[in-house]
A = this chain, B = another copy of it.
Amino acid sequence: MKKKPLILVTNDDGITAPGLRTLIEVMKTIGEVVVVAPDSPQSAMGHAITINSTLYVEAVHIDTGDQKEYSCSGTPADCVKLAVKQLLGRRPDICVSGINHGSNSSINVIYSGTMSAALEAGIEGIPAVGFSLCDYKWTANFEACKSYVKTIVENVLEHGLPNGVVLNVNIPNLAKDDIKGIRVSRQAKANWEEEFDKRKNPQGRDYYWLTGKFVNLDNGEDTDEWALEHGYVSVVPVQFDLTAHHCIQNLNSWNLND
């Protein structure tokens, strides 16, 4: 009998999040599961790591079943580093992160703690996937995600992923019958038009809340935004070589060494 794959599960919404619990449930049908997740929500943490502070890890058991679970005081990237270098006895076959409560499509990948965990695993040479459901609510319904998560993880375990690439999977907030399938996509050009809500605190000091509206500037039918708007699960291959290779020749024509 083939050995069961070892699956590292993490997220950025914290170890008690319903999205993580769904991911654990699906992963237990595929392999041996170890969970190392933040002890509190870490959304929009980007690729933060903890270098000037201590990290605490606690063995916990939140759901029934034979998965191992650890709660960690650090960021999602810290959780992956600690899991791989300290907590797991052997190298995981895959790292899955999520299921995030809220979209990480297009430019949101840059701010995403969910994806930073997947990227961290990718940097360690471990195949990795970040999953997000386009519903920010804590009470979001993850039922329709299950079969897509399973299909994608089984494909990654079968085919592997190229070096330096992880997957960013976003799932539309639809009933299972209304989801049309999976589309491999590129990251749409989009951004946030921020507005700052200026208020006064009870002591009379000004402060701000960051608010904003998401603006898709990209009409391509090959983007993740198009896929999600049209009822598809989007799968974007994401790389951490950020070099804009196409610009190097242009920059070499500048007067940098006169």
* Contact (Cβ within 8 A) B248 A243: no
CB 8 Å contact bits of A154-170 with B (1 = contact, 0 = none): 01000100101100100
* Contact (Cβ within 8 A) A52 B43: yes
* Range for the number of chain A residues in contact with chain B: 35 or more
* Contact (Cβ within 8 A) B46 A250: no
* Contact (Cβ within 8 A) B155 A255: yes
A1 at the interface (CB under 8 A from B): no
A174 at the interface (CB under 8 A from B): no
Residues from 229 to 258 in A contacting B, C-beta threshold 8 Å: 235-248, 250-252, 254-257
Closest to A56 in B: B207
Task: Name the contact of A242 in the complex, choosing from B151, B194, B242, B246 (C-beta under 8 A).
Answer: B242
Given contacts A44-B48, A239-B244, contact A54 B187 (CB under 8 A): no
For A196, the chain B residues whose CB sits under 8 A away are: 55, 81-82, 85-86
Q: Which of A28-36, A89-97, A108-116 binds B? A: A108-116
* Contact (Cβ within 8 A) B85 A247: no
Task: Name the contact of A256 in the complex, choosing from B151, B208, B210 (C-beta under 8 A).
Answer: B151
* Contact (Cβ within 8 A) A162 B247: yes
Given contacts A162-B250, A195-B85, A241-B189, contact A54 B184 (CB under 8 A): no
For A201, the chain B residues whose CB sits under 8 A away are: 54
Residues from 192 to 208 in A contacting B, C-beta threshold 8 Å: 194-196, 198, 201, 205-208
* Contact (Cβ within 8 A) B243 A210: no
CB 8 Å contact bits of A107-149 with B (1 = contact, 0 = none): 1011100001001000110000000000000000000000000
